[in-house]
Structure 1
Amino acid sequence: MAETTTPDVEPHEGEPHALAIGAKLNWLRAGVLGANDGIVSTAGIVIGVAAATTSRAAILTAGAAGLAAGAMSMAAGEYVSVSTQRDTERALLAKERRELREMPEEELAELAAIYEGKGLSPQLAHEVAQQLTHHDALGAHAEAELGIDPNDLTNPWHAAWASMISFTCGALLPLLAMLLTPVTARVPVTALAVVAALALTGWTSAGLGGAPRRPAVVRNVLGGVVAMLVTYVVGRAVGTQL
């Protein structure tokens, strides 16, 4: 019988893996959420104010206040949210360390059972569990049981800064479009700029995340259009009363 040989093939690098892309997805989520929120919320504010008054000072004041408040709110919200997630991860890792210290045999059997459940034979699963435990017990158990990389926990500051910066960049677009456009064209020009920006963020986020682009673009644009219509109607109603 011919001897079976293993081909000399290198693992390809094009396939993302869960633990390897955790930080990327965290930044992407915070950045896209911040940019979309900045675009939509600021567009709603300036379009609502523009529907009530033609005063450039009033539009600038409202838009700048909304930008500052929104950026700080996004940063604080992301920091608190991701800090809570990191605290939970740390608590789970501390529990795993304690179990590895107090009941190593039971933890080894648990790890072997996980790999056996994934399709390995009992003997091979036990051997794999032994080797991984010998190499890095906490890392092996954290990945297999919890889906956590102990050396790459989520960073709340990264999420906070990403949200604040992306919100500010997104908010500047409708604010500048409204302020730099003649009075008679302010609202339609701003609305078109917002639709284009939301289409771009939806397209980009879907591409970076490997998701279908069309649904992301449609969701972004529809949400922004509805928000602008509602605030425009409210602005017109309030402006008429005043």
Structure 2
Amino acid sequence: MVRLDGGGRIVAVNRFLAELLQYSGAELRGRLLSDLGSAPWASESALAMVRLGVYEHLRRRELMLMSRDGLCFSFEFHEVGKVSGDRLIECLFQQLEPLPRRLPESEPPPTGSGVQRIVSPPRFLQIVQRALDRTREHRRPLSLMRIHIDRVGDPGLPEPAWTPLVLRGFAKACAQRLRQSDIVCRFDGTRFAVLLIDVATSGALCAAERLRTAVARDASPAAMGYARRIGLSIGVVSTRTGRISCAALLSRAQAKCDEAREQGGNRVVA
């Protein structure tokens, strides 16, 4: 299925795998379900499990594939020949990363004291995993926010006309209210995540509240002359031991974010 050269680069990938990125999410889901049993790579030794879902289901030993319309699919490998699963996925990530983005990224925030960029989901997952490894080794705190922009719609103004304004406002708020070391990721249109390294729960809650207040004040359509207001639902989780998987950390933060939305939105839950 996969052959590596002496330097660890992939020199041969199954054609079926290479073709997946050409499909939309719905097409890809149907193709995977219909071809799973007959695909050359669908052997017990090469493929342990296929997950169809979004980024919060990803784990360190899974391969992420993103369809052209932004839907994610992950594949967990246990072993391929003598290549360990971790090594295989590391190599695959390195070569998938330069592909054109299937998820649009908002404009980079202004340079200054705040965050320098909004990274792609694959890059974010790599950073989170390294941060968890560091936390396990040095017992330094780590916190993660999952963020949803609430009430993004205005009957009096088509969404495409003002959504970029809201996203730019959100990016500006991140630049002003977060540290340069904080990592921001845009998962899709209105869902974001922020990794705060060396920040415990109390500090993460303060940062989340600062960000929520700034967005509600400066990035709402109301601040741009429209009646509609927006807010942020933010879920916060922290760890001091790092004894949690990347997927579990993201999933718990998302659960807190969902809880914030169920409580009416525009609030922080930890």
Give the TM interval when normalised to the shorter protein. under 0.3
Q: Choose between structure 1 and 2 for higher RCO, CA contacts under 8 A separated by at least 6 residues.
A: 1
Q: Normalised by the size of structure 2, how large is the TM-score?
A: 0.21
Larger radius of gyration: 1
When you count helix as a share of all residues, which structure comes out higher?
Answer: 1
Q: Normalised by the size of structure 1, how large is the TM-score?
A: 0.23
When you count strand as a share of all residues, which structure comes out higher?
Answer: 2
